[in-house]
Structure formats: C-alpha cells, structure tokens
Amino acid sequence: MGTFFSETGWLCLTVTAVLGAVILCKLKKNHRQEGRKMVCLAGLWGGACLLSLSLFWGLILFSLSCFLMYAYFSGQEFLPVDQKAVLITGGDSGIGHALSKYLDKLGFTVFAGVLDEKGSGAEELRRTCSKHLSVLQLDITNSQQIRDAHSKVMEKVQNRGLWAVVNNAGILGFPIDGELIPMTQYKRCMAVNFFGAVEVTKAFLPLLRKSKGRLVNISSMAGGVPMEKMAAYSSTKAALTMFSAVMRKELSKWGVKVSVIQPGSFQTNIAGTSDLWDKLEKNILDDLTPNLQEDYGQDYILKQRSFLKFMSNSSEPDVSPVLLDVQHAISAKSPYAFYTPGKMSFLWLCFASFSPTVLFDYFSKSSHSFTRGMPRALSKANWKNEAM
C-alpha cells in the first residue's frame, strides 16, 4: 500500500509539474487580467487541497485543477488574423473610431460604418488607416443604408466571407428623471441602441453563419445596473444584453459565437455635442405638462446639464480595455459570453444582481452623492405634510 501510494503520488506530482510549466508558458503569452486571476485562484485551490486533504488526494485534485487550467488557456489562444473581415458600426468617433484603427493595425479587413461618410471622423479613418479599411455610409436606423452596406461588403469579401460584426453605434439621450424624458427620446434611443443593432445583425447573420464567425454587441454596465437619470439609455442597453444572450444560445448550433461587452464609464462622444444638448433640453421643456412644470420646475431641469461635467470627471480616458476585450471576443478560440471592461464595472454588475435591493439602493445613492438640485415640489418645507 505504501509503495502504491508513493508511486501514485510521484506520478501526480510529475503531472502537476508538467501542466504547471505549460500553464506558465501560456500565461506569458496571455496578458489579460483574467488569466492572472485564474492562476491565483488555482494556486489558492491547490494550497487548500494540500493542506486540508492527504497528500495523495491533494495531489489528485491539484492535478485536476491544473488540467482544467490548461484546457482554459488552450481556448484563449488567438486565431490567426489572415485579413479576416470585420464590420464595425458607429465608427465616426469614440470606441468605434478607436476600434476601427486598432483592428486595422492588427491586420483585419475593416468595414467602418459611419453616420456621416463626409465627416471628420470618416476622413481621419481614410487618411490614417491602411487600404484594407473601407468607410461605409451606415445610419443603422436607415434600412436602405443597411442594405447598401451589405451589398458593398459582399462585393469586397466575396468568397472570403465576413468574420465578425461589432454593433457599437449608440446614443445616450438627455440624462434626466424618466418621467420627464419625452417619448420621442425613448423611441430614438430604442431605434439606435436596440432596433438598429438587431436589424444590422439580421442583415449580416447569413454571412456570419457561413464563416462560423463572431457577433459582438457593445452594451453597457448601465444595462445591468439601475442608474438614476438613465431610464431611456439603460432600458435599451438591457434589451441589447438580453438579445445577445438569446442569440448566443440560438446561434451556437451554427458555430457562431456571440459576446456582449458591458463597459463601465469611458470618455467617448456618446453624450453628443452642446448643440444637441440644447435641442434635447428644449424638447423636454416644450413637452412638460402644467403639472410637471409645477412639480419639477424649469430650474431643476436646467441643472441637469451638470451631468456632463460629472461624466467627464468620472470616466476613464483610456479606452484600450474595451479594445482588448473586443479583440479577444473576435479572435480567441473560446471567447467569453460577457466582458466587463472598466474599473468596478464587474463588481457593480455582480452587486446589482445578487445583493438585496435595499442594500444596493443605499450604496448606489452613497457612491453617486453628486447633486443636481431637487424638484421644486420636494424642495418645499411643507411638501411631506401636504402629501400626508
């Protein structure tokens, strides 16, 4: 029995050492934060096994964990680029613009869909990127432009097919209480952030099914974490996240892998220009009923512009975490279903999903303690007495 235990123990130890060495070699090629986290967890698990169990069973379980780690890292290896064709929407600015440049440098054939093919963003892409990048006029709320873009992509890729679609285009709207957001803004947000992405997906899915490629949808942390002032935007991103999850299950039989990116707060142009905010603000004021005008007051609405400053101060200027996650989603042998780039985005999503509602509401209110005034009715000292 002692001889058997000794021989088996040495065999397990040898297997563990070999697998560990292979994992470390793979880790050197894998610079993602998740890889380092997995190794740390495996180390803690192995230590717990060796301390709590006999040497024999500890080595058995630790060898098994090393094998699972090896299988995990094998799936994280990147496929060769080979000028794979990728369509990106919302390439005028922000993440879509940066992603178009980044994938072009990596050697992908990039189709950058833009809202204005004669705008400064489109011109910069033509000027700074390689000949493998094509700028397409693509307003994703315009069915004809989607069909035209599909024809141009088909004409260029021919038999090579389309490897990936990245639905990135999106708008924020005016951040204010959901009761005050006009229905036109709700419908506009849904048209761009959800229906546009769905229509682009439906148009290009036959090409993705043919190539057994990738569908990547850029959602938002706000699609899973309730945030004040974001009723229109968050609702549409939640819809996009669920659409992605359903499509992931349905398209798996075709060999198409679907990922959703839920970034935290990054500095982009999604909020729009000052002129756009003037227009949206005017629409809200014009849409007010007498009761809303009395209860909220115009001063309260005008103070909501401070959200622009808050967004700028709290957002991360470096969008590279998002770019790396999109690269992984379209290049890894086994991409993840969900990505959460950005500081605290993963923790906030977990907190919103699993914590008691009372606890979440308390901490979310504390962490967003910036103030943008109070509605006129709530600022009255006798309001509570009147309500009673």
Residues annotated catalytic, as ranges = 233
> DSSP alpha helices (H): ranges in the chain?
2-29, 33-52, 55-75, 94-106, 120-128, 143-157, 183-190, 197-211, 231-251, 274-287, 290-296, 298-303, 306-314, 320-331, 345-354, 357-367, 383-387
CB 113 within 8 Å of CB 140: yes
DSSP string, 236-293: HHHHHHHHHHHHHHHHGGGT-EEEEE----B--STT--HHHHHHHHHHHHHH--HHHH
Distance in angstroms (rounded) separating the CA atoms of residues 221 and 239: 12
Which of 273, 264, 270 is closest to 319 using CA atoms?
Answer: 264
Which of 321, 189, 334 is closest to 248 using CA atoms?
Answer: 334
CB 321 within 8 Å of CB 342: yes
Residue 119 vs residues 122, 126, 136, 149: alpha-carbon distances, Å: 5, 11, 12, 17
Residue 329 vs residues 28, 161, 205, 216: alpha-carbon distances, Å: 20, 18, 17, 7
One-letter amino acid of 17:
A
Distance in angstroms (rounded) separating the CA atoms of residues 265 and 333: 28
Distance in angstroms (rounded) separating the CA atoms of residues 54 and 371: 58
Distance in angstroms (rounded) separating the CA atoms of residues 270 and 95: 9
Structure tokens at 278: 């003037």
Helix crossing, 197-211 with 143-157: angle to 10°? 20
Q: Quick one: CA dihedral 8, 9, 12, 18, positive or negative?
A: negative
